[in-house]
Amino acid sequence: MSVSPLTAPDAERLPAPKAKKVPVIHTAHGHERLDNYAWMRADNWQEVMRDPATLDPEIRAHLDAENAYCEAVMGDWGGLIGELHKEMIGRIKDDDEAPPSARGPYEYLSRFEKGGQHRRYLRRPRGGGPEELLFDANAVSKDFDFYNLGGFGVSPDHKLLAVAEDTQGDEAYRLRIKDLETGNWLEDSLYPISGNFTWIETSGGLLYTTLDDSHRASKVWRHLLGQDGAKDALVYEETDGAWQVSLAKTNSRRFHMISRGTSGSNAVFLMDAGDEAAEPRLVAEALPDVYYSMEDQGDRFFILTNRDGATNFKICTAPLDDPRADNWQTWLAASETCLVEHMELFDGYLVRDETERALPRIVVHDLASGEEHTIEQDEEAYCLTHFGASEFDTRVTRFSYHSPTTPTRIYDYDMATRERSLVYQQEVPSGHDPARYKVDRFFTKAKDGAEIPVTVLRLADQALDGSAPLFVYGYGSYGMSQSAGFSVTRLSLVDRGVIYAVAHTRGGMDMGYQWYLDGKLENKVNTFTDFIEVSEDLCARGYGREGEIAAMGGSAGGLLMGAVTNMRPDLYKAIVASVPFVDVLTTILDADLPLTPGEWTEWGNPIEDESVYQRMLAYSPLDNVTAQAYPHMFVTAGLSDPRVTYWEPAKWVAKLRELKTNESCLIFKINTTAGHFGVSGRYDRLIEVAEEYAFVLRAFGCA
């Protein structure tokens, strides 16, 4: 079905919002930058994240005007948005259920009820029996415009349940505790926490982390049941603003682990998980660009680390009673080509999650015999996720497998017999024929010689003659790899003839840890040029044609979108930038903003280093908007977002409106009741995806 080409609305009939200009000069290292839209940042931004109603009325009026304009532009797209949304819902099993996970005397499980936006959490006796409802997130969510269950944990004695809930979208959680024997909620209530907590093995209390004024998880506390939260004991405080703390427990459940970390570096403190008065003890001091994680088994620790030049990570062992770095002994040497991303330890097995040439694998090592094997997979591109098990003394682990054409399958895997049992098969109620599609995997040769992985999903009978609409997705930051997995949403594009490609650019870890290092700090521009070169190569191979490409990225991927549209606006027809990190230099210069000090190891510190300032200035999307033609653009933001503050995309859109020289369509939607990850609820979230896809299809003139 063809539709009229996407154009900017008639300016007389529907004028775009025009933000006022209040010139502000930012000065650093003797260099001045003009910012006409700095007024969009609320002075009380911290309060606004907690309570959006406190936003300055003038700022709110401008954001409301942008939303009204967005709604007006998309007003006649309602049929297409509704059609897309209906399709996506039709691919979701209404009463989907996760496979049960055994722990102690129970099997724990969760499911959606028909029409439910959120899960219900249940348990039953191990081996079968009547179900017991533990927590109904769907029922609780109905009292809020936004709801996210960020933490869920049953106590070791199975008598208590702790939940961490975010009802604003600002990722500040309230922890509540339920007595599972009586069904009553205890008076214990802790707020604001980060959502990260671990139970003490006596079941008499828990450890949790709290947020400071900059939204940084900075303190670890011990809460004993029935105790006034104001009297909780401070266990650890991180005073360096560039570092955050997190909590975990080893698989054996013998130790709490407090990790103080920043991008690429960390230090671990251990605590006896069964001692209500335990104090943390440091394992190894943090070193620049060195990361380590650990698990215990028997009388030793296993440590996964890139210490001593092990770029793709090695595994070491150390005595349980003295795990200092001086005692680390190499157990598995680092590989030149294979990244060890994660390890899972059981009583008799060690399981490694590895990645080589952008494909994952799972390797099982028998600690008694020393034998190991790889769990084989057979598709050209796929996503493999190792869940592990909720028990330590087991020989059964769990993993999921899916690919761009294959819906998710979850298997229980017997590490001794090597037999796999299917425990979950994703259903697509509206029907799905994998043979209708084809997956291509190839490598784009960058100008500097790097080989950039590319994954493509398309119709199997599609001609590669450049005539198809081409959609390219990218991210490329923080070492986050892009999976080649199944998506019920992207089929709505592919079924309409759009070729969907993922560019696995530098900045992720798709090709190993060095791939991440080659896309951060002084190498950040590689992320942008990789994406451009992949886009060009796709066209050269017949997947599309230059100037007729849609591209999408969110958060740091939104930075990618901003950079490539400044560098090569002629290459792209339409851009979707979701919660985009586009005022990167201003943000990273402001140590008072949420999480900024912790970002310096990812981007550099432009406050102290002029060369970093100049480097970031050269690619900062907002700073490099110029008077030129730009693609059609759909930009989104969240008012409660603590990761990418709302004013970044708001300022960017205002400057684009001011300077772009063509009649491209530019719309901006800000969610005033959600944060970084958009609206909550599995069906409502799909509305946002449907809007983005409708924008892309309208840009291509097909629906």
Identify whether 526 is part of a domain: yes
Least confident of 213-217, 267-271, 319-323, 681-685: 213-217
Residue 229 inside a domain? The answer is yes
Q: Is residue 17 reached through a cis peptide bond, with omega within 30 degrees of 0 on the bond before it?
A: no
Domain presence at residue 310: no
| pTM for this entry | 0.96
CATH number for the domain spanning 507: value is 3.40.50.1820
Does position 61 have pLDDT exceeding 90, yes or no? yes
pLDDT at 5: 67
Looking at residue 3, its pLDDT comes to: 56
Condensed to tens digits (0 to 9), the pLDDT of residues 526-536 reads 999 999 999 99
User: What is the Cα–Cα distance from 66 to 652, expressed in whole angstroms?
Assistant: 13
3-state secondary structure of 519: coil
Specify the pLDDT at position 445. 98
Picking from 282, 303, 325, the residue at the C-terminal end of a domain is: 282
Work out the pLDDT band at 514, boundaries 50, 70, 90: very high
**What pLDDT sits at residue 489?**
98
Q: Quick check: 204 pLDDT over 60?
A: yes
Query: Taking 70 as the threshold, does the pLDDT of residue 222 lie above it?
Result: yes
| Residue 322 clears pLDDT 70, i.e. is over it | yes
Compute the distance between CA of residue 561 and CA of residue 555 in angstroms, rounded to an integer: 10
Q: Helix 556-567 vs helix 525-540: angle between axes, to the nearest 10 degrees?
A: 70
Q: Which amino acid is at 12?
A: E
Last-in-domain residue among 266, 282, 298 = 282
118 lies in some domain: no
Separation CA 194–CA 171 (nearest Å): 7
Q: Is the pLDDT of residue 435 over 80?
A: yes
Residue 558 placed within a domain: yes
Q: Evaluate if residue 245 carries a pLDDT over 60.
A: yes
Structure tokens at 176: 């509540």
Q: What is the pLDDT of residue 262?
A: 92
Domain tally, the chain: 2
Average pLDDT over residues 82-100: 97
Asked whether the predicted pLDDT for residue 546 surpasses 80, the reply is: yes
Q: How confident is the model at residue 699 (pLDDT cuts 50, 70, 90)?
A: very high
Mean pLDDT of 376-393: 92
Domain-ending residue, one of 282, 305, 332: 282
pLDDT, mean of residues 578-587: 97
Strand partners, 11: none
* Residue 16 forms part of a structural domain: no
pLDDT higher than 70, residue 1:
no
Which residues are known to be catalytic?
A: 555, 641, 676
Structural domain that includes position 215: 144-282
Question: What is residue 476's predicted lDDT score, i.e. its pLDDT?
Answer: 97
User: Exposed e or buried b for every residue in 348-374, given b needs 16+ CB within 10 A?
Assistant: bbbbbbbbeebbbbbbbbebeeeeeee
pLDDT for residue 378: 82
Residue 58 lies in a domain: no
> Does 558 score more than 70 pLDDT?
yes
- Note whether residue 10 is domain-resident: no
Task: Give whole-number Cα distances, 253 to 178, 664, 669, 684, in Å.
Answer: 22, 57, 45, 37
The average pLDDT across 643-653 equals 96
Residue 397 confidence (pLDDT)? 98
Does position 432 have pLDDT exceeding 90, yes or no? yes
Asked if pLDDT for residue 130 goes beyond 70, the answer is yes
- CATH number of the domain encompassing residue 162: 2.130.10.120
The string of DSSP codes covering 205-233 is EEEEEEE-TTS-EEEEEEEETTS-GGGPE
Q: Which residues contact 402 (CB under 8 A, 6 or more apart)?
A: 382, 383, 408, 409, 426, 485, 486
